[in-house]
């Protein structure tokens, strides 16, 4: 390898993530290049410092707490659902019931015998299926004898 | 250097694997899930702690990770490593939380000149005299995307392939992100130590 490997290559070399061919090339270059060897040394130094990071631990069993939260959330969901039923569905149900009752009441008013009477008229008789000019036997609108 | 065991060492060789416990937990066996919690809580906590840098937040979010995992167990596929899947959730929880709280303050290479102002004072440095503490201060200044990838590599000792699975990114992206993160962290660390 004539040219210096890029930082990505060196970093992957430190992690042992290069293919065998690439690894050999990088190693060959490192033996001749002071700058790359220094960069590699810094990366290894950094890796070593990671091992000195304080080891953080929970210190107690989290499982009971997680279970309590799961139970609380499922109870909360049920309570929310119930609350939703009471607070949201009740007014909606009442409105629907009131609408249905009103409809039935108005409908009952309209269907009481004698309360509503339609006008007696033969105006619609002109739409008889008998075509114009056809013989219409006995229909009053065809024989307006009063005007003739 | 031998690869250390990730998570709590099983008490005996015949102890069921994560996959077996996860399968049982998926069927509603809480005790199996409790075992998984005990096995992985410290690893998840450490990762989340280094992301958040606050014990209370880390404890809260570690519980959140396991809560989400329990609820999402039906979608877990047994061909995926449980720990990889768990860390995917942990990374999502941590990053989401940082974004929500807008704690994701970081410096770029160009902003490194201002780092002296952000670094801990002499008293804090005296208290945190160890190299590990200084590294934690430097890690804190990394963008979360860089921090998480380095933590998975250096603390969890995951391979690039595993990290790619956890973060759902390509291996090439893992490779370049790690190298950039190292470069930036090294600058921050050395500046912190007064060596630069």
- pLDDT for B38 beyond 80: yes
The answer to whether the CB atoms of B186 and A57 lie below 8 A apart is: no
- Nearest-Cα distance to chain A for B142, in Å, is 14
* Predicted local confidence at residue B192, as pLDDT: 72
A-B CB pairs within 8 A amount to: 93
- In this complex, the residue of B49, B159, B176 whose CB is nearest that of residue A8 is B176
Question: CATH class for domain B17-103?
Answer: mainly alpha
Reported as a single tens digit per residue, the pLDDT across B62-75 is 999 999 999 999 88
- CATH code of the region B105-196: 1.10.10.10
Give the position of tokens 């780092």: B115
- Report residue B56 CA to chain centroid gap: 16
What's the whole-number mean pLDDT along residues A83-104?
79
Give me the residue label for tokens 């937040």. Answer: B57
State the pLDDT confidence band at B117, using cuts at 50, 70 and 90: very low
Nearest CA in chain B to A10: B179
Q: Cβ separation of A58 and B30 shorter than 8 Å?
A: no
Per residue in A25-58, pLDDT (tens digit) is: 999 999 999 999 999 998 998 888 888 788 889 9
Residue B51 in this model has a pLDDT that exceeds 80? yes
Q: Whole-angstrom Cα distance, residue A120 to residue B159? A: 94
pLDDT of residue B116: 37
A62 vs B37, B50, B159: nearest CB: B37
Please tell me the predicted confidence (pLDDT) of residue B175. 95
Angle between helices B144-154 and B160-167 (to 10 degrees): 140
**Average pLDDT over every residue of B30-46:** 94
Residues in chain A: 148
Phi, psi at B70, each rounded to 5°: -60, -45
Domain ranges of chain B: 17-103, 105-196
Question: What's the pLDDT band for B84 if we cut at 50, 70, 90?
Answer: very high
Four-CA torsion B84, B85, B89, B94, nearest 10 degrees: 0
CA-nearest residue of chain A to B189? A46
DSSP letters, chain B, are: -PPPPPSSPPSSTTSPPHHHHHHHHHTT-HHHHHHHHHHHHHHHHHHHHHHH--HHHHHHHHHHHHHHHHHHGGG--TTS-HHHHHHHHHHHHHHHHHHHHT------SGGGGGHHHHS--HHHHHHT-SHHHHHHHHHHTS-HHHHHHHHHHHTS---HHHHHHHHT--HHHHHHHHHHHHHHHHHHHHHHHT--
Q: What is the mean pLDDT of residues A114-122?
A: 55
Looking at every residue in chain B, the average pLDDT score rounds to: 81
Question: What confidence score (pLDDT) does residue A48 get?
Answer: 86
Least confident piece of the model among A118-122, A133-137, B104-108: B104-108
Predicted TM-score (pTM) of the model is 0.68
Residue B127 has a pLDDT of 46
**From CA A42, how far away is CA A59, in angstroms rounded?**
34
d(CA B51, CA B165): 19
Does the structure show a pLDDT above 90 at A18? Answer: yes
- Min Cα separation A48/chain B (Å): 9
Give residue A11's pLDDT band: very low, low, confident or very high (50, 70, 90): very high
Best-predicted range by mean pLDDT (A89-93, A103-107, B1-5, B62-66): B62-66
Q: Search chain A and give the residue with CA nearest B54.
A: A56
The residues, any chain, with a CB within 8 Å of residue B51's CB and separated by 6 or more, are B94, B95, B98, B144, B147, B148, B151
């Amino acid at each position: 390898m004539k040219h210096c490997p890029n930082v990505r290559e060196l970093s992957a070399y430190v992690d042992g993530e290069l293919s065998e061919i690439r690894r050999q090339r990088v190693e060959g270059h490192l033996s001749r290049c002071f700058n790359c060897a220094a960069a590699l040394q810094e990366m290894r130094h950094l890796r070593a410092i990671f091992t000195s990071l304080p080891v953080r631990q929970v210190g107690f069993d989290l499982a009971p707490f997680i279970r309590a939260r799961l139970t609380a959330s499922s109870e909360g969901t049920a309570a929310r659902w119930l609350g939703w039923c009471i607070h949201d569905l009740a007014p909606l149900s009442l409105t629907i019931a009131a609408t249905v009752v009103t409809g039935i009441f108005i409908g009952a008013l309209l269907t009481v015998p004698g309360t509503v009477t339609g006008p007696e008229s033969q105006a619609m008789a002109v739409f008889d299926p008998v075509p114009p000019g056809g013989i219409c036997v006995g229909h009053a609108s065809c024989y307006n004898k009063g005007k003739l | 250097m031998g690869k250390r065991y990730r998570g709590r060492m099983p008490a005996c060789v015949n102890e069921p694997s994560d996959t077996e416990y996860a399968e049982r937990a998926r069927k509603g066996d809480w005790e199996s899930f409790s075992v998984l919690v005990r096995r992985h809580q410290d690893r998840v906590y450490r990762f989340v702690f280094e992301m958040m840098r606050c014990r209370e937040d880390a404890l809260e979010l570690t519980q959140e990770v396991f809560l989400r995992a329990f609820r999402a167990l039906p979608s877990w596929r047994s061909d995926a490593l449980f720990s990889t899947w768990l860390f995917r959730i942990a990374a999502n929880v941590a990053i989401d939380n940082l974004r929500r709280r807008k704690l994701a303050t970081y410096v770029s290479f160009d902003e490194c000149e201002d780092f002296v102002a952000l670094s801990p004072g002499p008293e804090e440095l005296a208290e945190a005299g160890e190299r590990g503490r200084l590294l934690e201060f430097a890690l804190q200044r990394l963008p979360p995307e860089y921090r998480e990838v380095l933590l998975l590599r250096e603390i969890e000792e995951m391979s690039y392939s595993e990290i790619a699975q956890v973060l759902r990114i390509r291996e090439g992206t893992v490779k370049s992100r790690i190298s950039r993160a190292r470069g930036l962290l090294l600058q921050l660390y050395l500046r912190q130590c007064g060596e630069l």
